[in-house]
């Protein structure tokens, strides 16, 4: 009787990837708050919701083409906040601290604007070509063959063949 089946291996790989992605987000959470309880619980919820949110967002992600820009701004803000607070802790008598409420408000506003802009200004689709491709005429084929022969001769002259 087998105890380890291929399904168990798949389950272990999927759950391991969930844990890796959750651990990967810990520095971003520490950029918002240093409360260990919030960091721990947010990562637990990330592990629980990552897979189901992926399938939810995979169907609609093409509609939100400004979301990458919004996420870039959010990640830049979180990184700058982490650097600013860390540097000011070591170099200033009164360290700079951005309140959690302001950080979350900034993140919500940026993501809201990105989603709203994507809905208001949808991505333009390229117009299909109106002229259909047609077979070349015998004269066009002859001209193309002569051009190929001419280029082959120039190449042979350059290489000394």
Q: What is the pLDDT of residues 82-94, one digit of tens each?
A: 889 889 888 888 8
Residue 131 has pLDDT above 70, yes or no: no
Around Cβ 85, how many Cβ atoms within 10 Å?
Answer: 15
Domain ranges of the chain: 1-59
Q: At 130, is the pLDDT very low, low, confident or very high (cuts 50, 70, 90)?
A: low
Q: At 137, is the pLDDT very low, low, confident or very high (cuts 50, 70, 90)?
A: confident
C-alpha 17/C-alpha 47 separation (Å) is 9
Q: At 74, is the pLDDT very low, low, confident or very high (cuts 50, 70, 90)?
A: very high
Model's pTM, two decimal places? 0.54
- What is residue 102's predicted lDDT score, i.e. its pLDDT? 92
Residue 10 has pLDDT above 90, yes or no: no
- What is residue 77's predicted lDDT score, i.e. its pLDDT? 93
Residue 57's closest CA among 117, 125, 115, 124?
A: 115
Pair 18, 47: CB distance under 8 Å: yes
C-alpha 45/C-alpha 51 separation (Å) is 11
Q: How many secondary structure helices (H) and strands (E) does the chain include? A: 6, 0
Residue 101 has pLDDT above 80, yes or no: yes
Q: At 116, is the pLDDT very low, low, confident or very high (cuts 50, 70, 90)?
A: very high
Mean predicted lDDT score pLDDT of the chain: 83
């Amino acid at each position: 009787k087998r105890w380890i089946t291929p399904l168990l291996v798949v389950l272990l790989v999927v759950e391991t990837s969930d844990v890796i992605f959750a651990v990967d987000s810990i520095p971003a959470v520490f950029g918002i708050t240093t409360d260990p309880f919030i960091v721990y619980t947010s990562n637990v919820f990330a592990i629980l919701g990552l897979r189901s949110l992926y399938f939810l967002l995979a169907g609609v992600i093409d509609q939100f083409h400004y979301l990458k820009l919004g996420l870039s701004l959010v990640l830049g803000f979180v990184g700058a906040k982490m650097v600013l607070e860390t540097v000011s802790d070591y170099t200033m008598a009164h360290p700079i601290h951005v309140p959690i409420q302001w950080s979350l408000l900034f993140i919500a506003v940026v993501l809201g604007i990105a989603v709203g802009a994507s809905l208001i200004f949808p991505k333009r689709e390229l117009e299909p070509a109106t002229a259909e491709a047609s077979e070349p005429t015998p004269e066009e084929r002859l001209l193309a063959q002569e051009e190929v022969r001419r280029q082959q001769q120039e190449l042979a002259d350059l290489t000394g063949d």
